[in-house]
Structure 1
Amino acid sequence: MNLNLLRIFIQVAETLNITEAAKALFISQPAVSKAIKNLESSLRIQLFIRDKHKGLMLTEAGREILVLARQMKAIENSIYQIAGRENRLLSGRIKVGSFPAATTNLLSKAIAVFRAKYPLVKIELLEGVSDQIRQWVEDRTVELGIVASPFDSFAFETLRSDYMVAIVPADHPLAKEPMIDLSGCRDEVIFCKGGHEIAMNAILGTYGIELREGLTVQSAETLIRMVRNGLGIGLISHFTLSSVSHDLVVKAIRPGVTRDIGIIAHSFGELSPAAKEWVNVLLQTSREPEQDKEKSTRLDRQVPGS
């Protein structure tokens, strides 16, 4: 199997554009087209469909081969990394999927520490929501993913524990209450999605509460602006909230909703040497400072089930 043809195939499959693939690979468009034709001829199958309206699309076989090609590329990367490790010069690249709050709270420090230790290893970061990241790990678009639980069937290491909180303006009637009961404010909740939905529905369901959020947003910044403007009570994870600045009052909720933030992979044992070192650095740097732990503990005591 010609690994160079596979590298070109992966680039075309990920961009679905011959021109963009050629630019990324620093070769000519005819060279890219020829490489794809040679690979299709070698395999005796069609990898792409050329549609006049939709453009380039992968065939079903092409999608399956893309996953395997990524595995072969990862194995090649591992071979060079092992050789580099033996020469005391670890190099290569790691592709990591993360959601924005995890990037801010966990990865920024970890990347700085890792780069100082392994300057020849390149970290490629893709950001999305937990469901997207799980899919990226599944189809091997990324080697590792940082997601909110549940971790499904993936191998995982827990990085942080997390829980949901409510946020209100300082002049809100509930700002002075010790805790906000969700069953009493279902119609004025603004919910920030981000991988919490499964945990929210499962736990609230055991209390007979059906959360009918008035507004649903995708980012913490949007949620904060809406709450500040008096549009409702914000419901967000403590972990996500800690990644943005705000002047709102944070309240514990009843019933308590918890989850974990973790790193997932198909198998930690099959990771490249650089990826294994990255996991070690991430585990070391993601430990909460004692001061943060004390703050979390004080709020946890108010949150049943956390």
Structure 2
Amino acid sequence: MHINHMGDNKNDMNRSQIQLIVKISETGSFTKAGEELHMTQPAVSRAVATIESELGTKLIKRNKKNGLFFTDVGERVLIKFRNILGELQKVDELIAAEQGLEIGKVHIGAYPTACKRFIPKIIRTMEDKYPGLEVKISEGSVDQVKEWLRSKCVDVGMIIPPVEDFDIVPLMKDQLIVIMHSSHPLYQKETIGIPDLQDEDILLGRGGYEVQIHSLFKDFKLKPNVRFVIDYIDTALCMVQEGLGITITTKKNILSLPENVVFRELKPNTFREIGIAVPDMKDISKATDVFIQTARTLFANKSD
């Protein structure tokens, strides 16, 4: 495989060298990357030095303040390397299919609730049907999943639309609910509308809730009184339990409620969409397509 740069200069880069650079970015460590690729730390250092010498530029730097980090050009090269590995994976899948084998790799990015609610069942179903399939999961916030998709760190992500950067496959809708302390006066109401919330302290969740909730309030010419902005639902639930405010989330985002924490449905019924995102639907691997189709078979068009 040839990677061309600087006019007529050519550098021979092999698959293992490209895998090493990508693995260092994933682990953030020469030592950990070496362990996963069965290389010693000195061997990793020598290999990186050789790659950088061949390319004529520094990809990775280390200092006491930031530890290991990729240079600006290193970040751009990483995206190209991930694309190359993705294309090589497709070649492997084509050859395996020709030989009657089913193999493949898919790296999934998902926010915590998706990891709990959807991913385990999807993986179990996939592995039962395709035992040779290799699955990797990265768990993070919705914003982190979007960034992983942009940088090609993951093949597919479960996110909250709308997002213009990716191709989205709709998966399901999840109903919005209002969560409060059991002593809160709103709990005495059978239904809760946005006007009921105009004077309430709102614990606003990140990861797609911000735009939708502000839009719902705007429909009534109101603004939410946002007291805190929260990354994770467990944090919001603990704050509700302490009487610090109410939060708006979805039914499927809640595995269980803490003591004295209750919910009411938001009326009229309002839903949040959950989607599966890929950088380009025309350029996905068979393993990624298996993930998407499995997820849709198990969960598509289902809502509470």
Q: Deviations over 1:174-203 (max 9, x none)?
A: 223132244444342333333211222233
Number of residue pairs matched by the alignment: 290
Q: Which residue of 2 aligns with 1:64?
A: 76
Query: Is 1:33 aligned to 2:45, yes or no?
Result: yes
* Equivalent pair of 1:161/1:260 in contact (CA under 8 Å): yes
* Equivalent pair of 1:187/1:214 in contact (CA under 8 Å): no
* Equivalent pair of 1:129/1:195 in contact (CA under 8 Å): no
**Identity between Structure 1 and Structure 2 (%):** 24
Query: Is 1:281 aligned to 2:294, yes or no?
Result: yes
| Cα distance in 2 between the residues matched to 1:219 and 1:16 | 24
Residues 220/56 of structure 1: CA separation in 2 closer, same or farther (3 Å cut)? closer
Amino acid at match of 2:96: G
TM-score w.r.t. the length of structure 1 is 0.86
- Which of 124, 129, 132 lines up with 1:112 in the alignment? 124
Q: Which residue of 1 aligns with 2:205?
A: 192
Deviating more after overlay: 27-36 vs 211-220: 211-220
How much has 1:143 moved relative to structure 2? 0.2
- Gaps in structure 2 of 5+ consecutive residues: 1-12
Please identify runs of 4+ aligned residues in structure 1 that moved more than 6 A: none
Residues 71/213 of structure 1: CA separation in 2 closer, same or farther (3 Å cut)? same
How much has 1:24 moved relative to structure 2? 2.2
Amino acid at match of 1:282: A
How much has 1:283 moved relative to structure 2? 0.8
Q: Deviations over 1:12-37 (max 9, x none)?
A: 23334222222222111221112112
| Cα distance in 2 between the residues matched to 1:136 and 1:83 | 28
TM-score w.r.t. the length of structure 2 is 0.86
| Cα distance in 2 between the residues matched to 1:160 and 1:203 | 20
Residues 53/214 of structure 1: CA separation in 2 closer, same or farther (3 Å cut)? closer
| Cα distance in 2 between the residues matched to 1:81 and 1:244 | 41
* Equivalent pair of 2:173/2:301 in contact (CA under 8 Å): no
How much has 1:38 moved relative to structure 2? 1.5
- Gaps in structure 1 of 5+ consecutive residues: 297-306
Amino acid at match of 2:150: E
Q: Deviations over 1:75-103 (max 9, x none)?
A: 11111112112223211321000111112
* 1:159 aligned counterpart, secondary structure: strand
Quote the RMSD (CA, aligned, Å). Answer: 2.3
Q: Deviations over 1:190-223 (max 9, x none)?
A: 3333321122223322322211223333333333
How much has 1:268 moved relative to structure 2? 2.1
